[in-house]
Amino acid sequence: MVQGITGREGSGHALSMLKYGSKVVAGVTPGKAGENVGGVPVYNSMKSALNAHPEINASIIFVPAAYNADAVYEAVDSGLKLVVDITEHVPVKDSLKFINYAREKNVTIIGPNCPGLISPGECKIGIMPGHIFSKGSVGIISRSGTLTYEIAWVLTNSGLGQSTAVGIGGDPIIGRDSVEIIDMFENDGGTDAVIVIGEIGGDAEERLASRIRQKGTKKPIVSFIAGRQAPPGKRMGHAGAIISMGSGGAADKIKALESVGVKVAELPSQIPQLIKTAVR
């Protein structure tokens, strides 16, 4: 289901997902019931959409930031277990509240401010260009949409297909972080190795290193950390990409990951060889 399907972004990406082969069966925009986007019927509410299409099991949100929280709450309360929130500029106070609410309801939120996720050749719930991905066994977790695309393209051109790529988002507060997605990949029989694409700011990569130190890992992990040349204390790119309180720098993240055996590439172009070496 696409929430906000009649807007410019929602309609354009709904058509792109359909073209890729994703089963988009309904859209929601209040006041637009009876319309359709590329043959996908539009409903006023998720309740109406789910009554007509009980097979729906995921939602993607293209609702403007001012109304985004309401859309997330509606999705969570509908009973769906996967909600992908694409919207940018969502107030942190809104994200904090609806993500905690979703956790209480055992609902997985990806995002906000993310490109979504894709299992190449099977399904795309997001805005990524599907043609650069190829089916395979390398999982991708990324805070950066653009770097996801670049590294997926590098992998594809090197003959390394991907099992699933998850763009977790670059905001300070997100639904699922790299630590939690690693756990999912650990239990995925179709994934042989994982790439973690990080960036300066926050402590997600340091927490991932701590998780690996405590639990170990069943599958090789390779990483790339963006922002090596960022001036100290500067915000770079995403809202969450800021170094503060003496943590979050690229050097700190790289040191933490390498200390638990994760190979960290200096350039995206080095990742295919690191993956090939790791899975031998």
Catalytic (active-site) positions: 238
Whether the CB-CB separation of 192 and 164 falls below 8 Å is answered with: no
Q: What does the buried/exposed string (b/e) look like for 10-49 if buried means 16 or more CB atoms within 10 Å of the residue's CB?
A: bbebbbbbbebebebebbbbeebeeeebeebbbbeebeeb
Closest by Cα among 31, 43, 32, 38 to 1: 43
Coil, strand, or helix at residue 60? strand
Residue 88 region by backbone torsions, left for phi larger than 0, else alpha for psi between -120 and 50, else beta: beta
Which runs of consecutive H residues, i.e. helices, occur in the chain?
8-20, 46-52, 65-77, 92-104, 145-157, 178-186, 204-215, 250-258, 271-278
Q: How far apart are the first and last CA of the chain?
A: 40
Going by their DSSP bridges, the two strands 40-43 and 36-37 should be labelled as: antiparallel
